[in-house]
């Protein structure tokens, strides 16, 4: 997906990008490729693939809820190279973004990226998600929490749902639909105070790849013992 096609495809779903936003995406791509030679940020570095599989894919989150007018606070857990939160921030400057990642090198990249793109209201935290979720300054304080990760849903839920405020949402971005994964997570989601609302299915243009957004709403407070100590959710997922 060339940049001009990227702009046209977003226009089809009601997102009009300005010249400034297009320049921000161009600079994002340049920095991503440059820093990827120093630290492992992504296996995808081809321009057309980055625009489709990283930038456009991240923005598909807007299909699950309207981000245009609300000043949502959004926390991106394990954002890596900034997906999906930084493309969303470029498109919807009103968002208040917090990013937590366990690798300080990635945080350094994201700090430079936000400075270069002149993004405001972006906070970056070098921390383990389990510790971050127990931090009173952040626990149950975000309208939206996102994760675009390979971990199973019951693991992601323990890392993310504690950060969601009551009536807020956790949005898990998945590359593959798995009824089994959703079913095995239902008890964990309920234990953590969430409720599975829907699965939104999308198709990436041109390549017909499916994407799925699992939408979980926070119905009640998460018990204080969650998330458990770092590493535990992954080793012993809630069942």
Mean pLDDT across the chain: 94
Is 83 annotated as belonging to a binding site? yes
How many percent of the chain have pLDDT more than 70?
100
DSSP letter string, the chain: --HHHHHHHHHHTT-PPPHHHHHHHHHHHHHHHHHHTTS---S---HHHIIIIIIIHHHGGGGTS--SS---EEEEET-TTTTTHHHHHHH-TT-EEEEEES-HHHHHHHHHHHHHTT--SEEEEES-HHHHHT-TTTTT-EEEEEE--SS-HHHHHHHHGGGEEEEEEEEEEESS--HHHHHHHHHHHHHTTEEEEEEEEEE-TTT--EEEEEEEEE-SPPPTT-S-STTHHHHS---
180 is in an annotated binding site: no
CATH pick for 3-235 out of 3.40.50.150, 3.40.50.1820, 3.90.226.10, 3.40.50.300: 3.40.50.150
Domain boundaries, the chain: 3-235
Is 130 marked as a binding-site residue? yes
Statement: residue 69 has pLDDT above 70: no
Q: What is the pLDDT of residue 62?
A: 87
pLDDT of residue 64: 80
- 180 — pLDDT class (breaks 50, 70, 90): confident
Residue 237, pLDDT > 70, answer: yes
78 annotated ligand binder: yes
- Residue 212: is its pLDDT beyond 70? yes
Residue 25 marked in a binding site:
no
Mean pLDDT, residues 221-226: 97
């Amino acid at each position: 997906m060339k940049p001009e096609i990227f702009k046209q495809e977003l226009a089809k779903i009601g997102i009009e990008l300005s010249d400034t936003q297009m320049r921000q995406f161009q600079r994002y791509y340049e920095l991503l490729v440059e820093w990827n030679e120093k630290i492992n940020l992504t296996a995808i570095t081809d321009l057309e693939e980055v625009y489709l599989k990283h930038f456009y894919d991240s923005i598909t989150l807007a299909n699950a809820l309207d981000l245009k007018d609300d000043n949502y606070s959004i926390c991106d857990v394990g954002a890596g190279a900034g997906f999906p939160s930084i493309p969303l921030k470029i498109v919807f400057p009103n968002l208040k973004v917090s990013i937590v990642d366990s690798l300080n090198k990635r945080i350094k990249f994201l700090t430079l990226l936000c400075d270069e793109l002149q993004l405001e209201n972006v906070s970056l935290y070098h921390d383990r998600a389990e510790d971050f979720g127990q931090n009173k300054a952040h626990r149950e304080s975000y309208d939206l929490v996102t994760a675009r990760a390979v971990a199973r849903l019951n693991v992601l839920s323990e890392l993310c749902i504690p950060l969601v405020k009551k009536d807020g949402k956790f949005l898990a971005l998945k590359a593959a639909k798995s009824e089994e994964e959703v079913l095995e997570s239902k008890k964990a989601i309920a234990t953590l105070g969430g409720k599975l609302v829907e699965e939104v299915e999308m198709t990436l243009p041109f390549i017909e790849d499916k994407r799925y957004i699992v939408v979980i709403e926070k119905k009640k407070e998460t018990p204080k013992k969650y998330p458990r100590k770092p590493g535990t959710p992954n080793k012993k997922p809630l069942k």
